[in-house]
Chains A and B, each alone.
Chain A
Amino acid sequence: MIYNIIILSLREIKRNLLRSILTTLGIVIGVASVVMIVTLGEGTKIQVETEISKLGSTMMTISPGTRRHRGASQSAKPFDIKDVEAIRRESSFISDVAPLSMKRLLVIYGNENRRSQVAGTDKHFTDVRSWALSSGRNFSYAEEASGKSVCIIGETIRKELYKSSNFLGTNLRIGKISCQVIGLLESKGEVMFSGDQDDIVVVPLKFFQRRISGNDDINQIYASSINEYMLQDAKQEIELIMNERRPQRDGTESRYSVRAVQEMSAAFQGTSAVMTAFLSAIAAISLLVGGIGIMNIMLVSVTERTREIGIRMAIGAREREVLLQFLIESSMLSLFGGIIGIILGLLGALVIAPLMDIPVIIQLDLIIFVFIFSALVGVVFGFVPAKRASQLDPIDALRHE
């Protein structure tokens, strides 16, 4: 019987096709926006997680703080190699430490050139950043100690300047200084917080200090904890060591800051989760409005079809069969709306995700939930009109003009 009633309901929907489409529009828009927003939200979350793993989930950066000098804010005194050595020597929760001095310089090979980030550091840099070499080798102790003119290049440099795989042993010019390429870093791609990671030339710190910056300063220190769970302990440890090494002279100076990459992204993720929840709530309201739209049209439909209901009753339809027919009609409407909404929402996400540079994560549980929910909207909002239809008196209904 239920199959037959579904057939009858489908006939009714088909008979008023334009009105059916307009009725479901509210549901379509509501469902499409929920599906799209949640899908994009999930994509953003996954993206941020990927970023963290690219930057290293155990990584921290230690930077000199700022100090106030006669009202103006200035950078505090940079680190020197002794700070790096102290952390390396005195810490127990930290697996690797690397100094880092950076400068953006013109890098030239043959006829090609490019402004890239030049980083002076040591061989621990690759460990701290969990960044493997795809070919060649890391700096040797002798190269570091003597500040030899060797370098390791990033994938972007290889691609832009060499356009081939013959780069090992060639001489790359950094500004006016030439250095020999000994290795290539694996590609990390774009990272949300710091741009193209692969646009980099890594040189020994001593080489950088002597030939590029001309001083013994270290701009930043990278450190990584033994594992993710020791991140907080490692951070405290660094603070203890640095407090001792950089005593505070007055209250206006912030001597250094330690920041874990994970904390930055956690903050970002929190914001993004709140946004997703907020937008979903708005979308849910539009679903509610869609449901009310269905109720409205079903009520109109019951009034308009009073005579038809009378005919059905005279022919022998029972209350429950009339009720069921109208309920099925309204849930079919909302279900169709739901299905179309899911498709449109996913299509929307597929179009927008590449613009936002995030992956599209199709969540089956979301789709099933939305599907069931949209059917329920039809049942809930269709009930009052359906009940009204089933309670009509056949004699009055047949007489209705």
Chain B
Amino acid sequence: MGTLNSLEKGESVPVINFNSVSKVYGMGENKIKALNNTSFTINKGEFVAIMGSSGSGKSTAMNILGCLDTCTTGDYLFKGFNVKSLTRDQRALLRRHYLGFVFQGFNLLARTTSLENLELPLIYRRIDKEKRRTLALSALKKVGLEDRINHTASELSGGQQQRVAIARAIVTNPSLLLADEPTGNLDSSKSIEIMELLKELNKTTGLTIVLVTHEDDMAAYAKRKIIFKDGQIISDKLN
């Protein structure tokens, strides 16, 4: 993975550079173009909301951004590095070292304490036990849950679970945080808490955040809004 180390130097290049990216599912007559020739760049420190109705291609864009999937044509440059040329395992390493994920369904490990959940990405990064604990505690503090270290997911409220999930995503100090409908399972007051937290993280740490949502209220917290329709970008402007 020597090639990935060069990513550390790419501070000046955009975090994300989508260059005529298309994604096609299926073959022949069943072909569906989920993304059609989309291009955009996201720089370090940006807080971008990706919007669109279902089937607009925003989830596909999210999967490609998160290196969970690759594009059919075009190029996706992550910090100037072409993700297309990477193998499955190399993309896993890229996620491990540079990406943080927050999902709609929280996706914490069941019957596992907050601390153990936060340790998981650190274990894959081969960080030793002492350091893991320090990092995990500091991340939990950032999301205001330092008093819920030994609570399992079922002992936390939805809002708290999502905050643990955010802590898990930022515990590795990633270059990019991808949040896929993070407020989709929460009531409005909890949603506001989560969005405030993301906004705060973006402001204080300069963390680049890409948020996928279909709610205008939530998108309003972001600095920039990209709207997808039928696999294409129809709007890209600052809030």
Contact = CB atoms under 8 A, between A and B. Distances in A.
B52 interface: no
A308 B116 CA distance: 14
A398 B104 CA distance: 11
Interface string B104-128: 0001011110001000110111100
A70 interface: no
A4 B123 contact: yes
A7 B95 contact: no
A305 B107 CA distance: 12
A395 B101 contact: no
Interface in A208-255: none
A311 B116 CA distance: 14
A317 B123 CA distance: 10
Contacts of A321: 124
Nearest to B90: A318
Interface in B92-107: 92-97, 99, 101, 103, 107
B24 interface: no
Contact of A317 (B116, B124, B168): B124
A31 interface: no
B69 interface: yes
Interface of A is mostly: helix
A317 B68 contact: no
A315 B109 contact: no
Contact of B107 (A7, A316, A319, A398): A398
B63 A395 contact: yes
B95 A316 contact: yes
Contact of B68 (A15, A314, A319): A314
Given A11-B116, A314-B101, A315-B101, A308 B109 contact: yes
Given A4-B126, A11-B112, A15-B112, A318 B69 contact: no
A315 B68 contact: no
A399 to B, nearest CB: 9
A1 B122 CA distance: 11
A315 B112 contact: no
B139 to A, nearest CB: 14
Contacts of B116: 11
A307 B110 CA distance: 10
B62 to A, nearest CB: 10
B21 to A, nearest CB: 16
A319 B89 contact: yes
A303 to B, nearest CB: 15
Interface in A371-401: 394-395, 398
A314 B123 contact: no
Contacts of A11: 112, 116
Contacts of A317: 92, 96, 124
A391 to B, nearest CB: 10
Interface residues of A, number: 23
B112 A312 contact: no
Interface in A1-45: 1, 4, 7-8, 11, 15
A312 B168 CA distance: 12
Most chain B beta carbons < 10 A, residue from A4, A316, A317: A316
A176 interface: no
Given A4-B126, A398-B103, A316 B109 contact: no
A7 B123 contact: yes
A395 B88 CA distance: 13
A312 B68 CA distance: 12
Interface in A69-120: none
A318 B63 contact: no
A15 B88 contact: no
A4 B96 CA distance: 16
A68 interface: no
B159 interface: no
B123 A307 contact: no
A315 B63 contact: no
A342 interface: no
A398 B66 CA distance: 13
Interface of A: 1, 4, 7-8, 11, 15, 307-308, 310-321, 394-395, 398
Given A4-B126, A308-B110, A317-B96, 5 more contacts: A311-B107, A311-B109, A314-B68, A316-B97, A395-B68
Interface of B: 63, 66, 68-69, 88-89, 92-97, 99, 101, 103, 107, 109-112, 116, 120-121, 123-126, 168
23 contacts: A4-B123, A4-B126, A15-B111, A15-B112, A307-B107, A308-B109, A312-B120, A314-B68, A314-B101, A315-B95, A315-B121, A316-B93, A316-B94, A316-B96, A316-B124, A316-B125, A317-B124, A318-B89, A318-B93, A319-B89, A321-B124, A398-B68, A398-B103
The 6 lowest CB-CB distance pairs between A and B, nearest first, are A316-B96, A318-B89, A316-B95, A318-B92, A315-B121, A4-B123
